[in-house]
C-alpha cells in the first residue's frame, strides 16, 4: 500500500514509525512531517490543515490509505473530501469530529444519552457566564468551546480565577474563535486517565490505557500544557474498570452518535476522571493523544497498519490486537518558556546517544533539519520514550536517554510516572 500520514508532531512520528514496520506498507509519505519523521517516511511540504492540497497530492500519487493525525483537519472535513475522491482514510468525518470540535456538543450529547460526566452549562456572553460562576462557586472548570490545541481548559480554584478565565477566553480572545462560547463545568475529584478504542462505526475494540501529565512542572505544578509526559498502562484502569468504561461510556457514545446520524469511525480517545462514583467523561478527542500515542506505539505487537485499515473499512471483527506486556513511558522535552512564549531555532545534540539506549526511541514533535543539525521548531520538541518491565524501570531507562541529550534551551519534568510508582 501507499500510505500518507497527515501531521507533524510526535504522535505522527510514532504512527509513521509503527506503520513503516508493516509488510503491507510499500511507500510511506507524511505531510508535512518533521526532521524525525523524515528518517522513516518521505515528507511532503503540505500543511496538515491544507485540505485541498492533501486531497490533490493523495489523488496524484495514487495513495491507497490516509491516516489523519491531528484534530483540526478532521473537524475541517478532510476525511469527507478524501472519501469523495475515492481514497480510504482513517479518522471520523466532519459530522462525527464535532465530538471534539465543540465541547458544548459533547456535553449536550452526554446529557441527552445519560453518559456520565460533570454538571455543566454553556454561555456565549461573558456576563452571563460570570453570573453563573458567582452563583455556583469555585473550584470550577472553564473551557473554550472550540479547538484550542489542548490548551483551552482552565482549572479555577476560586471565583476571581474563574472570572479572569472568562475574560481570557471570551474578551481577550486567547483562543480566537474557539472562545465564542464557553462551557463551565463542575470540578471533578479523582484520578485522571486516558482511554482509547478503535471504532468502525458499529464496533469498538479497546486499546490499552494511559495516563498523561498535563501540568508544565514537577508535582503537577504550573500551567496546563498539551502534555509533558505519559505512560501506559495506567494502573487505575483495571480489567473491571475497562469493562465499566466500555459499558457505560464507549458503547453508549457510539450508539448515541449513530442515533444522531453522525456514525463514528476512527480512534475514540476519552479523557476520564475516575471518581468515587465511577468513571466520568472529561472530554472526547477524535484522534490519538499526543503524547499518549508514542508509548502506545511502543507497546503494540500487531501490524498496526492492518488494524487501522480494518477500522476504516468497518471490519474490526477481523482484528485481534496484541500488545507487549511491558510498561512504556514518554518524557516530553519542551523549549524553555513553553506553554508561553518560546524561541525557535536552538540546536539539539546527543540524539544518537539517546536513541542508542536499549528499548528507547526519541520521537520528534517539533524539529527541523539544517544540514546535519537538528533544530527546535516548536514548544513541545521531543518525546523520549522507553519500555521496561515496570513503571520504575521504564522511567529510569527513559531519563537515562534524556540525560544524553544536550539542549540547554529545553526542559522537561523529572517525575513522569509518579502516580503509578507511588502506588
- Digit-coded pLDDT (tens) for 14-72: 999 999 999 999 999 999 999 999 999 999 999 999 999 999 999 999 999 999 999 99
416: pLDDT strictly greater than 90: yes
Percent of the chain clearing pLDDT 90 (strictly above): 94
* Segment 295-311 mean pLDDT: 97
pLDDT at 60: 98
pLDDT at 223: 87
150: pLDDT strictly greater than 80: no
336: pLDDT strictly greater than 90: yes
Mind listing the pLDDT tens digit for each residue in 84-130?
999 999 999 999 999 999 999 999 999 999 999 999 999 999 999 99
Strands (E), 93-239: 120-123, 140-144, 153-156, 182-186, 191-200, 204-206, 211-212, 215-217, 221-224, 229-232
* Segment 181-207 mean pLDDT: 94
149: pLDDT strictly greater than 80: no
Cβ contact 62:85 at 8 Å: no
- Residue 115: which residues within 8 A CB-CB, separation 6 or more? 109, 248, 249, 252, 253, 256, 281
156: pLDDT strictly greater than 80: yes
133 pLDDT tier (thresholds 50, 70, 90): very high
419: pLDDT strictly greater than 90: no
**Residue 373: all three cell numbers together:** 543539525
pLDDT at 420: 86
Domains of the chain: 2-94 (3.40.50.20), 125-180 (3.30.1490.20), 191-318 (3.30.470.20), 327-422 (3.90.600.10)
* Segment 286-301 mean pLDDT: 96
421 pLDDT tier (thresholds 50, 70, 90): confident
Give me the sheet containing 27-32, strands edge to edge. 42-43, 27-32, 2-7, 65-68, 88-90
pTM of the model: 0.94
pLDDT at 151: 77
* Segment 283-300 mean pLDDT: 96
Percent of the chain clearing pLDDT 70 (strictly above): 100
230: pLDDT strictly greater than 80: yes
What DSSP letter does each residue of 149-183 carry, written as one string?
TT--EEEESSHHHHHHHHIIIIIS-TTGGGGSSEE
Mind listing the pLDDT tens digit for each residue in 374-404?
999 999 999 999 999 999 999 999 999 999 9
pLDDT at 9: 97
Select from 193, 213, 214, 229 the least CA-distant residue to 399: 229
Amino acid at each position: 500500500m501507499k500510505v500518507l500520514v497527515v501531521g507533524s508532531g510526535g504522535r505522527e512520528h510514532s504512527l509513521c514509525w509503527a506503520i513503516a514496520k508493516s509488510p503491507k506498507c510499500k511507500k510511506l509519505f507524511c505531510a508535512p512531517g518533521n526532521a524525525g519523521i523524515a528518517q522513516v517516511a518521505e515528507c511532503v511540504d503540505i500543511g496538515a490543515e491544507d485540505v485541498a492540497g492533501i486531497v490533490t497530492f493523495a489523488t496524484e500519487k495514487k495513495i491507497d490509505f490516509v491516516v489523519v493525525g491531528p484534530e483540526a483537519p478532521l473537524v475541517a472535513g478532510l476525511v469527507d473530501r478524501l472519501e469523495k475522491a475515492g481514497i480510504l482514510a482513517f479518522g471520523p468525518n466532519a459530522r462525527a469530529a464535532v465530538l471534539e470540535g465543540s465541547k458544548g456538543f459533547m456535553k449536550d450529547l452526554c446529557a441527552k444519552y445519560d453518559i456520565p460526566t460533570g454538571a455543566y452549562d454553556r454561555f456565549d456572553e461573558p456576563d452571563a457566564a460570570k453570573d453563573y460562576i458567582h452563583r455556583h462557586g469555585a473550584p470550577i472548570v472553564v473551557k473554550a468551546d472550540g479547538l484550542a490545541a489542548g490548551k483551552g481548559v482552565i482549572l479555577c480554584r476560586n471565583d476571581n480565577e474563574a472570572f479572569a478565565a472568562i475574560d481570557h477566553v471570551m474578551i481577550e480572545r486567547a483562543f480566537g474563535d474557539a472562545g465564542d462560547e464557553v462551557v463551565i463545568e463542575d470540578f471533578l475529584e479523582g484520578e485522571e486517565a486516558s482511554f482509547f478504542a478503535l471504532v468502525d462505526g458499529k464496533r469498538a475494540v479497546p486499546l490499552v490505557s494511559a495516563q498523561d501529565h498535563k501540568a508544565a512542572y514537577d508535582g503537577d505544578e504550573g500551567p496546563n500544557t498539551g502534555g509533558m509526559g505519559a505512560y501506559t498502562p495506567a494502573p487505575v484502569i483495571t480489567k473491571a474498570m475497562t469493562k465499566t468504561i466500555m459499558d457505560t461510556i464507549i458503547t453508549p457514545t457510539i450508539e448515541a452518535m449513530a442515533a444522531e446520524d453522525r456514525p463514528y469511525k476512527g480512534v475514540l480517545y476519552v479523557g476520564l476522571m475516575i471518581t468515587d462514583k465511577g468513571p466520568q467523561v472529561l472530554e472526547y478527542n477524535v484522534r490519538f493523544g499526543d503524547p499518549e500515542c508514542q508509548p502506545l506505539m511502543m507497546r503494540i505487537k500487531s501490524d498496526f497498519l492492518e488494524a487501522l485499515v480494518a477500522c476504516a473499512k468497518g471490519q474490526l471483527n477481523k482484528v485481534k490486537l496484541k500488545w507487549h506486556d511491558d510498561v512504556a513511558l514518554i518524557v516530553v522535552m519542551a523549549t524553555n518558556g513553553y506553554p508561553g512564549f518560546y524561541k525557535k531555532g536552538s540546536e539539539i545534540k546527543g540524539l544518537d546517544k539517546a536513541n542508542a539506549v536499549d528499548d528507547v526511541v526519541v520521537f520528534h514533535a517539533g524539529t527541523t533539519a539544517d544540514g546535519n543539525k537538528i533544530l527546535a521548531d516548536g514548544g513541545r520538541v521531543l518525546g523520549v520514550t522507553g519500555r521496561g518491565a515496570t513503571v520504575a524501570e521504564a522511567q529510569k531507562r527513559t531519563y537515562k536517554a534524556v540525560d544524553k541529550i544536550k539542549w540547554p534551551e529545553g526542559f522537561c519534568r523529572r517525575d513522569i510516572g509518579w502516580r503509578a510508582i507511588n502506588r
